Structure 1
Amino acid sequence: MPKLESLSDEELFLLVSKNQDGAFHMLYERYKAALLVYAIKRVGQDAGEDLVQDVFIRTWNNRYSIDYQDDFKAYLFTALRRRIMDYFAKENNAQGYLEDLKSYASEFAFDEADEHVRAQSFRDSIFAVLHRYGPQYQAVLKLRLQGYSNPEIAVMLGLSEKTVRNQYSSTLKIIRSNFSSFLLFLFF
């Protein structure tokens, strides 16, 4: 059998589809740097590394069903572009949701004092739910509501930016899943 380095992408992927992890490692080493450069230019270091790893994980997990149309490199870059688009859509939705949360309390205000009381009550209800998940979730949300970015929050809390990003995403999911019950409690 020839050395893995001398095999084409297609030959290597054929071995990958037969559970040859050495062939997969060769493909990973062959394309990791180029994919990282592409991703980091678009989404930054941490997110870029996460997205590239995700592409390779998905490639391995779906190795039996992938149809790469005789151009494995194009398949990888297309998969990465899709993951980047998903990332931007998720970030935009999360930011929009936070803005909606900020403005939602003010929609139901009748005067400035009442607005403040309702907004504070709404925040208190959110933080009461987050209390079940730990103090870091509350701290991340408080700092985001104060306008701090993920890198700033990471420095303030002594966490990695990835951890802050993941906890913020989890926090939004928690709030979404409990949001409707808070509306009934606060406003009816």
Structure 2
Amino acid sequence: MRRFKKLINEKLLLLVSDNQDETFYLIYERYKAALLIFAIKRVGEQVGEDLVHDVFIRMWNNRYAIDYQNDIKAYLFTALRRRIIDYLAKEDNAKDYLENLKSYASEFSFDQADEHIRVQTFRDAIFAVLRRYGPQYQAILRLRLQGYSNPEIAAQLGLSEKTVRNQYSSTLKILRSKFSSIFLFLFF
């Protein structure tokens, strides 16, 4: 490992992409502290550590495909910034979802059997509306309801991720125009 310590970043990147785990560890040691400080200031210690480790894990897993443009520091900080933004967006959405779900639950109470029938009836109504727009919209929605992500749906249906994202967005717009927002909120 000592033989790698004096290497410049460009050489280290070449060695990492050649599957040299010692050089990856050296990059990790060089930039870990600065990345942690950056993350902890924005999201706290526990989450910051998780996000920094996630950035390094993704870097290692994608070491053959990443274009560092000879600036590993810029790549790492950009990747961390994106992970922080994603985390904060999910955190805000999760809080909003839970608050709305609590208010909905306090307004309405259903017996479980009755609720199951209502859910199934509502899903049937949704797919009846989507039949007018084609089977691809229905397939995307079914897979989303089963918990698949956009990349997984794209792979299953042989579409681009952008197509899946656009068609899912179009589907939600169609459904919002046809149904009450509160019901859509429960399913999507």
TM-score, structure 2 normalization: 0.57
Counterpart AA for 2:54: D
Q: Check if 1:7 corresponds to 2:42.
A: no
Give identity over the alignment, percent.
64
Please, what is the CA RMSD of the aligned residues?
Answer: 2.5
Which runs of 5 or more structure 1 residues have no equivalent in the other structure? 110-114, 126-175, 184-188
> Which residue in the other structure is 1:68 paired with?
68
Match of 1:93 in 2: 93
Displacement of 1:10 after TM fit?
1.3
Q: Equivalent residue for 2:120?
A: none
Deviation at residue 69 of structure 1 after TM alignment: 1.4
**Which letter maps to 2:36?**
L
Question: Which aligned pairs between 1:110-149 and structure 2 lie closer than 5 A?
Answer: 118=109
> How many residue pairs are counted as aligned between the two chains?
117
- Structure 2, gaps ≥5 residues long: 116-144, 148-182, 184-188
- Within 2, Cα distance between the matches of 1:22 and 1:105? 53
Match of 2:34 in 1: 34
Distance 1:10 1:70 in 2: 5
Alignment of 1:42-61 (within 5 A): 42-61=42-61
Q: Which amino acid aligns with 1:99?
A: E
- With the length of structure 1 as denominator, give the TM-score of the two structures: 0.57
Structure 2 residue 82 is matched with structure 1 residue 82 = yes
User: How many angstroms apart in 2 are the aligned matches of 1:177 and 1:104?
Assistant: 23
Rounded to whole Å, the distance in 1 between the matches of 2:39 and 2:22 is 25
- 1:138-162 deviations in whole A, cap 9, x for unaligned? xxxxxxxxxxxxxxxxxxxxxxxxx
CA distance in 2, matches of 1:60, 1:6: 21
- Residue type of the alignment partner of 2:75: Y
The alpha carbon displacement at 1:105 in A equals 2.8
User: CA offset at residue 80 of structure 1?
Assistant: 0.1
